[in-house]
Chain A
């Protein structure tokens, strides 16, 4: 991928030096895994969070296969969720990510994908904490 002058430096930084690339143990009870895809462009993004007993996110990793903006968005997302509580992390909006990375309009969906990945990871974590609750909620 050739990065021209038109690419804002923050996208380049998170693309060339993405933070937190990798995996956490998806089978661990305190790890939530979010796996999302963008059908329009075929990007896939996996985002994982490790939550401590106080409900604080202590670690996060991601693996994204897609364009530079998608990689940068998920890299930034993992940076931002660290140290936040679940509720705080759920408040992260794609518009914040897009603004921070100066994403052009045509790449806004990449930040949306990152927001969805965060939510999916946290939903997975919550489900693992109380599967019975989810079941009874489904029946209700």
Chain B
């Protein structure tokens, strides 16, 4: 907001999402603090509060609000948070095909996918859900450790693994939705 006339200003170019949400630029974050910050920021800039303001400010408010939503979603989810952190450090996410070196891991992903593709069986689905959760927690811990010791290449590899499990989680969710 402009200190003089209190009119809403546009968001700056290329904002740092961590700084925007008041978090240190690290993989480990305080989720509750992030949520509090999200709510208080939205209270200040949400378009619903700018209905009576000039069109330009209404437009800025939409931009701010979208940006804050994007920042919140990015930082809330460990995978997107990790990938964003890599991006800030100038490390591109994994692009090359995973093959021989990761065959054990890929086989595991393949097997879980195959089980998920089978006709619905509540027990198996629960088993898979637990397995995915456990793996995601493990990977999150490992990614935290990698970032803490500044091992960005290891973080990159682990985040790639997390992506496979994130996809499985989505497929599982879709399977649970009654059609």
A-to-B contact residues, CB < 8 Å: 34-44, 46, 63, 65-66, 109, 112-113, 116, 120
B-to-A contact residues, CB < 8 Å: 93-100, 102-103, 106-107, 109-110, 113-114, 117, 160, 163-164, 166-167, 171
A36 to B171 CA separation, bound complex (whole angstroms)? 19
List of A residues within 8 angstroms of B95 by Cβ: 39-40, 109
Could you write out 20 A-B pairs with CB less than 8 Å apart? A34-B99, A35-B107, A35-B110, A37-B97, A37-B102, A37-B109, A39-B93, A39-B95, A39-B164, A40-B94, A42-B163, A42-B164, A42-B166, A44-B106, A44-B110, A44-B164, A46-B110, A112-B97, A116-B97, A120-B100
Q: Looking at the assembled complex, report how far the CB atom of B114 sits from the nearest CB atom of chain A, in whole angstroms.
A: 7
Q: Is the interface of B mostly helix, strand, loop or mixed?
A: helix
Given A40-B93, A113-B97, A35 and B167 contact (CB-CB distance below 8 Å): no
Q: Looking at the assembled complex, report how far the CB atom of A122 sits from the nearest CB atom of chain B, in whole angstroms.
A: 12
Q: Looking at the assembled complex, report how far the CB atom of A125 sits from the nearest CB atom of chain B, in whole angstroms.
A: 14
List of B residues within 8 angstroms of A116 by Cβ: 97, 99
List of B residues within 8 angstroms of A109 by Cβ: 95
Q: Looking at the assembled complex, report how far the CB atom of A27 sits from the nearest CB atom of chain B, in whole angstroms.
A: 14
Q: Looking at the assembled complex, report how far the CB atom of B74 sits from the nearest CB atom of chain A, in whole angstroms.
A: 17
Given A113-B97, A116-B97, A120-B99, A37 and B114 contact (CB-CB distance below 8 Å): no
Residue among A36, A39, A46, A113 with the highest chain B CB neighbour number at 10 A? A39
Are A39 and B96 neighbours in the complex by a CB distance under 8 Å?
A: yes
A42 to B160 CA separation, bound complex (whole angstroms)? 8
Q: Looking at the assembled complex, report how far the CB atom of B175 sits from the nearest CB atom of chain A, in whole angstroms.
A: 13
A39 to B166 CA separation, bound complex (whole angstroms)? 11
Are A44 and B109 neighbours in the complex by a CB distance under 8 Å?
A: yes
A121 to B109 CA separation, bound complex (whole angstroms)? 18
List of A residues within 8 angstroms of B114 by Cβ: 63
Are A36 and B106 neighbours in the complex by a CB distance under 8 Å?
A: yes
What would 6 more interface pairs be, CB under 8 Å, given A39-B163, A40-B93, A65-B109?
A35-B103, A35-B110, A36-B98, A65-B167, A112-B97, A116-B97
Given A37-B97, A40-B95, A65 and B163 contact (CB-CB distance below 8 Å): no
List of A residues within 8 angstroms of B99 by Cβ: 34-37, 116, 120
Option from A38, A42, A63, A66 in Cβ contact (under 8 Å) with B97: A38
List of A residues within 8 angstroms of B103 by Cβ: 35
List of B residues within 8 angstroms of A37 by Cβ: 97-99, 102, 106, 109, 164
List of B residues within 8 angstroms of A36 by Cβ: 97-99, 106
Q: Closest residue of chain A to B166, judged by CB? A: A42
A66 to B168 CA separation, bound complex (whole angstroms)? 10
A113 to B6 CA separation, bound complex (whole angstroms)? 54
Residue among B97, B99, B106 with the highest chain A CB neighbour number at 10 A? B97
